Structure 1
Amino acid sequence: MSGKNDGTGEDTVGEFHEAVNMSPKELREWLATDASRSVGQSDGSGESVGHASGRRIVELLAKKKGELTEDDLAHMRKVVGYVHRHLGQRPSGDITESRWRYSLMNWGHDPASS
């Protein structure tokens, strides 16, 4: 993550779209599974922070660049940071059904996709 901001959020939007490699449909379908609800830290409401973030990501993917608010851009930066940090913590072995992969998928990134 470059941390640069050109004032329009263009850098943030680009980094967000690089980090989020799941389509809105894929992410919506994933968030409806028990596996997606089985990982992450609770936000106190019974839903994990990552699961709530995934729902927000679906909304952000539907917005046009000119519709994004500062709050939207802040969440995009949070997503980019989370994805980059957790990719650096890849466990050894098969990740197909790992909590690590499931957690990343809640944040819109499937490390098993290329």
Structure 2
Amino acid sequence: MSSNDDTTSKDFEQAVNMTAGQLSDWLETDESTSVGQDDGGESVGHRSGRRIVEILRTPKGERTDDDHEHMRTVVGYVHRHLAQRPEGDVRETRWRYSLMNWGHDPLKD
């Protein structure tokens, strides 16, 4: 693994604060499927969440270049979305649900 992949892995581990099991369970909820930009029947974020589960279940040394590219996409999305935090209680908001589809629960911070 290159040093760039090491950095990507560290950034991904900081951005994704849900376990594979937690994320997988979340993706089965109505709240999860109710948010995001629809892309032919499944939102981009929901599809990303399924990919994140696969990445989390893949040993670090076996992750592909495509995995690392998606991990960088996830880190960018999480950072951008966190910067748009709405005011007030975010527990039951589309903002939180969208972030959770990408593996980040802002209430865990």
Per-residue Cα deviation, 1:56-104 (whole angstroms, up to 9, x for no partner) = 0000001111111110000000000000000000000110000000000
Per-residue Cα deviation, 1:5-52 (whole angstroms, up to 9, x for no partner) = 724x000011001000001111011000000000000122x1000000
Give the Cα–Cα distance (whole angstroms) in 1 for the partners of residues 14 and 71 of structure 2: 11
Q: Are residue 49 (structure 1) and residue 10 (structure 2) matched? A: no
Question: Alignment RMSD, CA only?
Answer: 1.0
The 5-angstrom pairing of residues 83-102 of structure 1 reads 83-102=78-97
TM-score (normalised: structure 2):
0.96
User: How many residues are matched?
Assistant: 108
TM-score (normalised: structure 1):
0.92
The 5-angstrom pairing of residues 29-108 of structure 1 reads 29-44=25-40, 46-108=41-103
Gaps of 5+ in 2: none
Give the Cα–Cα distance (whole angstroms) in 2 for the partners of residues 68 and 84 of structure 1: 22
Percent identity over paired residues: 64
Moved over 4 A (4+): none
Q: Aligned partner of 2:3: which letter? A: D
Give the Cα–Cα distance (whole angstroms) in 2 for the partners of residues 49 and 20 of structure 1: 17
Q: Aligned partner of 1:26: which letter? A: Q
Aligned counterpart, 1:112: 107
Q: Are residue 20 (structure 1) and residue 16 (structure 2) matched? A: yes
Give the Cα–Cα distance (whole angstroms) in 1 for the partners of residues 9 and 83 of structure 2: 21
Q: Are residue 6 (structure 1) and residue 3 (structure 2) matched? A: yes
Gaps of 5+ in 1: none
- Pick the structure with more helix per residue: 2
